[in-house]
Amino acid sequence: MRDGALKGGEARQGAAATCEDAPDGDWGTEAAHGAPRYQVWAVSGIPEVAPGDDLGKLIAAAEPGLADGDVLLVTSKIVSKAEGRVVRAADREVAIDAETVRVVARRGAMRIVENRQGLVMAAAGVDASNTPSGMVLLLPEDPDGAARAIRDGLRDALGVNVGIVITDTFGRPWRTGLTDVAIGAAGVRVLDDLRGGTDAHGNPLTATVVATADELAAAGDLVKGKAAGRPVAVVRGLAHVVADDHGEGARAMVRPARDDMFRLGTSEAVREAVRQRRTVRAFTDEPVDPGVVRRAIALAVTAPTPHHAIPWRFVLLESEESRTRLLDAMRDKWIVDLRRDGKSEESIAKRVRRGDVLRNAPYLVVPCLVMDGSHTYGDARRDGAKREMFVVAAGAGVQNFLVALAGERLGSAWVSSTMFCRDVVREVLALPEEWDPMGAVAVGHPVEEPKPRPGRDVGAFVEVR
């Protein structure tokens, strides 16, 4: 048994250079051990790969005893290195953008995207591990094509018919931890379609399609290791998964858009996004990423508007100095107004304290209503209704903004305070006269998760005619 080999799922130790437990051809049969078995080991002796290297030749030199029916699990990083798919780490975000065709999910700096190969993964597969300092690797240009080239190279060098799986590390929805999966393949039956058959109890199988290539990739990762410098593993004893031709490749494992139940989210996901939006009044000291706020604004301005207008502006108070200056001026204005209204000093202090949610937030946003795109009807009644339309649109935009912030795991509180001293807000923030502040939104990381929202009877809010 080879160093680090796994046999039948059990880790073994030893230093023999060849398999001594069973003769070639007995792996995967019931003859020797009474049950199907396979062997998997990592290949040692593959040198550091450089652009232009022939991987087939390198693997053949390191593992000359390959046999027909073996499957090789090849880490995508050495394929990328051989292809020269290396860029400077400073250009990583630009590289991710270039490799991305669709952003699936985003939280903070983390992006889950669909890349040009159709794979949905973090950062489009752009990776800084096991690379020279200051550099990052892109995924292979054509993983299936790379697998075919390695397979052809091994056939030429050793005269063997083997399967090749190019692997990369994935996270998985609803599961913690990473595993290797197949991103390229040649000579391997990547999927085992069991539909139309029956299980051991005679029950019909109607939905079972086994991702054989992914199972092989995960088996190889158990012996390759992430930092051991062994980028290739061999599986022996599963010759039934090896084909004579190159086969359809791992691209066949990418679920087409028409079959993706989660591509546009689900009705429950939409409901959860709205429910997650809660008023948060206590924030930690953790700074807010301005890029996250801008992404939320990009969703805010997709709200419906009258007359194809653009009725929103969002003023971002990103410095403590700007927040303090505005809130101090607003407080002074409120105190003057409340005293003029005859309120007691105790009542005034209580009302002023309500503004603490804004003062304690690490980030403030002042949404403003503008009447761009509006026109005059000529009578007061219709012009009043026109403004109401724009106010409703502004509210829809702010609601989008709050929901988007919640999706980024940020808490928020929409406070009406700026509406009561619009002149002061415009003066302090140097805003145009036609901008109407529509409250202020406190933004930050919540101190604690909000308590469950009490249920409400929908029927109490509905009238049917």
- Pair (414, 295) in one structural domain: yes
Query: Helix, strand or coil for residue 414?
Result: strand
> Do 247 and 310 share a domain, yes or no?
no
The closest alpha carbon to 146, from 251, 46, 63, belongs to 251
Closest CA to 43 of 13, 57, 63: 63
Shared domain for 58 and 179, answered yes or no, is yes
pLDDT at 29: 42
The answer to whether 125 touches 180, Cβ cutoff 8 Å, is: no
d(CA 345, CA 334): 12
Q: How much is the CA Rg of the chain, to the nearest whole Å?
A: 31
Digit-coded pLDDT (tens) for 171-190: 888 899 999 999 999 999 99
d(CA 37, CA 452) in angstroms, rounded, equals 51
Please tell me which residue, 379 or 80, carries the higher pLDDT value: 80
Provide the CATH number for the domain around residue 80. 3.30.1330.100
Contact 2, 200 (CB under 8 A): no
Q: Which of 259, 292, 310 is the last residue of a domain?
A: 259
Q: Is residue 447 one of the residues assigned to a domain?
A: yes
H or E stretch covering 193: strand 192-193
238, 259, 280: which is the final residue of a domain? 259
Same domain, 348 and 413: yes
Please tell me whether the overall predicted TM-score, pTM, comes out greater than 0.75 for this model.
Answer: no
pLDDT in tens, 329-365: 999 998 898 899 898 988 888 888 877 889 999 999 9
Structure letter (DSSP) for residue 355: T
**Banded model confidence at residue 258, pLDDT cuts 50, 70, 90:** confident
Classify each residue of 245-258 as buried b or exposed e, where b means 16 or more C-beta atoms within 10 Å of its C-beta.
Answer: ebbbbbbebeeeee
Instruction: Quote the CA–CA distance of 144 and 141 in Å, as a whole number.
Output: 9
- Looking at the domain assignment, is residue 91 inside a domain? no
- Give me the number of domains the chain comprises: 2
| Arithmetic mean of pLDDT, 312-317 | 95
Domain boundary (241, 259, 277) is at: 259
Q: Is the pLDDT of residue 104 over 90?
A: no
Average pLDDT estimate for 395-402: 94
Higher per-residue pLDDT: 388 or 362: 362
Same domain for 421 and 388?
A: yes
Share of the chain above pLDDT 70, in %: 88
Please determine, for residue 269, whether its predicted confidence score (pLDDT) is greater than 70. Answer: no
33 pLDDT tier (thresholds 50, 70, 90)? low
CA angle 221, 223, 229 (to 5 degrees): 85
More confident residue, 42 or 109: 42
* Inside any domain, residue 156: yes
Whether 2 has a pLDDT exceeding 60, the answer reads no
Q: Could you read off the pLDDT of 412-438 as tens digits, one per residue?
A: 999 998 998 999 999 999 999 999 999
Mean pLDDT of 129-158: 92
Mean residue pLDDT of the chain comes to 86
| Residue 94 maps to a domain | no
Average pLDDT over residues 378-391: 74
Residue 369 forms part of a structural domain: yes
Q: Residues of the chain with pLDDT > 90: what percent?
A: 56
38-75 tens-digit pLDDT: 999 999 999 999 999 999 999 999 999 999 999 999 99
Contact yes or no for 289/108 (Cβ under 8 A): yes
Q: Above 50 in pLDDT, residue 137? A: yes
Q: Give me the pLDDT at residue 381, please.
A: 65
Report pLDDT for 3.
Answer: 46
Three state DSSP letters for 113-142: EEECCCCEEEHHHCECCCCCCCEEECCCCC
Contact 163, 243 (CB under 8 A): yes
Chain segment 192-202, per-residue pLDDT in tens: 888 888 877 88
Segment holding 192, helix H or strand E: strand 192-193
Q: Does 14 fall in a domain?
A: yes
Domain that holds residue 395: 267-461
Per-residue model confidence (pLDDT) at position 378: 61
How is residue 187 annotated by DSSP? S
